[in-house]
Amino acid sequence: MTISISSDFECGNIEVLGVEGDSARLAIRKDSNGPWSQWFNFAVRGAAGRTLTLRIVNAGATSYPKGWEGYRARVSEGGAWRLAETAFDGTALVITHTPQGDEARFAYFAPYELTRHEALLARIAATPGVTRRVLGQSLDGRDIVCLDMGEGPKSLWILGRQHPGETMASWWMEGALARLADAADPLSLRLRQRARLHIVPLVNIDGAARGNLRANAAGTDLNRQWRAPSAATAPEVLAILSAMEETGVDVFLDVHGDEELPHVFIDGCDVDPESSAAQVAGVDRFRQALLKASPAFQTAVGYPPSYGGAEANGIATRAIGLKFGAVAMTLEMPFKDALETPDAAAGWSPDASAQLGRDCLEALIAALDESA
Ligand code: ZN
């Protein structure tokens, strides 16, 4: 009997080129209508007790080949996601693993399905003082959902998963939203007293369903569209930006994952030469507060000021910083392990992402504090 491999499920991504015994030749498929690739997510069945050799032959030709250096694939047999033995030779990524049970799931990072997303929205929206609002529709006709809470004078916006393959952003949201919805948490109460919060946990919902790394259904990288979003190719951004125009934006946090750097870091609007002294100070308060709140966060390694190149003015953090004068930041978590808080069994994980989500509330209140 040979093993069978499938990615025929929500957020799935793999092409099976050939299976022989316990070995398979696989390829990551490109985003729908877009040039990017890196996300994979597939199931292997008939695998109990067999040492699988899973060879992703086009890894060297994906969007971030350096992302495979020092990287280990994630595997789950129904429970927690753990690290699998992984090697990269510059061309192929080879995952070796011996499942105990019949079925094992392998992915670039712990997936976060739409059913879990929907359950999260329902859970948080059912707590006192939280409103669930539909800002618009994606190209595939899905709702772009925003959770609103808090009564304060400031406006705080948080976005997750503009890039659908960066599923750590969804795990981050679970941690942050659970804390924000906890009426017994004094920090959350303070935050909700000082600001009106607008949180869109899953911006690129079509890309998530399709198993894309970066693109939406039209093949657009949404985090390059914030200067002038098109209804035809980026209605998700247009819907959020329209809602922002009604509320204004004092503080903005955009939650992402980075393929290459083994660190948690932020990229702030403070690198923009046009940013004000108040914006620079606000980003710095966020940084200093997060350094205290989270052992995973660091400031030594991050993007250079030139990040984004000619497209930088379409990045949400830059565009929203400029348009609204907001204290705007992109938060990046690693696909590799975080060198500041290494975890030999799980690497950077859903639990680590959720903990960072809880810890970031300390930094958000610091960013808000003096932005009057
Ligand atoms: Zn991203």
pLDDT digits (tens, 9 = 90+) for 218-265: 999 999 999 999 999 999 999 999 999 999 999 999 999 999 999 999
pLDDT in tens, 31-70: 999 999 999 999 999 999 999 999 999 999 999 999 999 9
Phi, psi of 75, rounded to the nearest 5 degrees: -135, 145
Residue with tokens 């910083």: 321
Average pLDDT along the chain: 97
Nearest Cα neighbor of 290 from 355, 347, 196 is 355
Per DSSP, the residues of 148-195 read EE---SEEEEEEE-SSTT-THHHHHHHHHHHHHT-TT-HHHHHHHHHE
pLDDT digits (tens, 9 = 90+) for 295-337: 999 999 999 988 989 899 999 999 999 999 999 999 999 999 9
Q: Is there a contact between 194 and 365 (Cβ–Cβ < 8 Å)? A: yes
Contacts 24+ apart (CB under 8 A), 351-356: 351/171, 352/296, 353/168, 353/169, 353/171, 353/172, 353/175, 354/171, 354/172, 354/174, 354/175, 354/178, 355/175, 355/294, 355/296, 356/172, 356/175, 356/264, 356/294, 356/296, 356/297
Q: What is the largest CA-CA distance in the chain?
A: 68
CA distance 41 to 30: 13
pLDDT for position 371: 45
Structure tokens of 316?
């949400």
CA angle 3, 50, 85 (to 5 degrees): 105
73 SS3 class = coil
Cα–Cα distance for residue pair 31/341, rounded to 1 Å: 32
For 113, list phi and psi in degrees, rounded to 5: -80, 160
Q: How far, in Å, is the centroid of ligand 1 from the Cα of 215?
A: 10
For a pLDDT cut of 70, what percent of the chain falls above it?
99
Extended beta strands in the chain, E state: 4-6, 15-20, 23-27, 41-45, 52-56, 74-76, 82-83, 85-88, 93-97, 103-107, 131-137, 143-149, 154-160, 195-200, 251-258, 265-268, 327-334
Residue 234 confidence (pLDDT):
98
Q: If you measure from the C-alpha of residue 187 to the centroid of ligand 1, how many angstroms do you get, rounded to a whole number?
A: 28
User: pLDDT (tens digit, 9 = 90+) per residue, 77-116?
Assistant: 999 999 999 999 999 999 999 999 999 999 999 999 999 9
The neighbour count for residue 350, using CB atoms within 10 Å, is 22
Sheet holding 4-6, edge to edge: 4-6, 41-45, 103-107, 74-76, 82-83
Q: Rounded to the nearest whole angstrom, what is the distance from the C-alpha of residue 163 to the centroid of ligand 1?
A: 5
How far does the centroid of ligand 1 lie from the alpha carbon of residue 142, in Å? 21
pLDDT, tens digit, 9 for 90 and up, residues 158-206: 999 999 999 999 999 999 999 999 989 999 999 999 999 999 999 999 9
Res 370: pLDDT? 61
CA–CA distance, 110 with 277 (Å, rounded to integer): 39
Ligand 1 centroid distance, CA of 321 (Å): 17
CA quadruple 320, 322, 328, 333: dihedral, nearest 10: 70
Q: Give the length of the chain.
A: 372
pLDDT at residue 1 in the model:
75
User: Is 372's pLDDT higher than 80?
Assistant: no
Task: Calculate mean pLDDT across residues 268-281.
Answer: 95
Residue numbers annotated as active site: 332
pLDDT band for position 350 (50/70/90)?
very high
pLDDT band for position 369 (cuts 50, 70, 90) = confident
Q: How far apart are CA 288 and CA 270, in angstroms?
A: 14
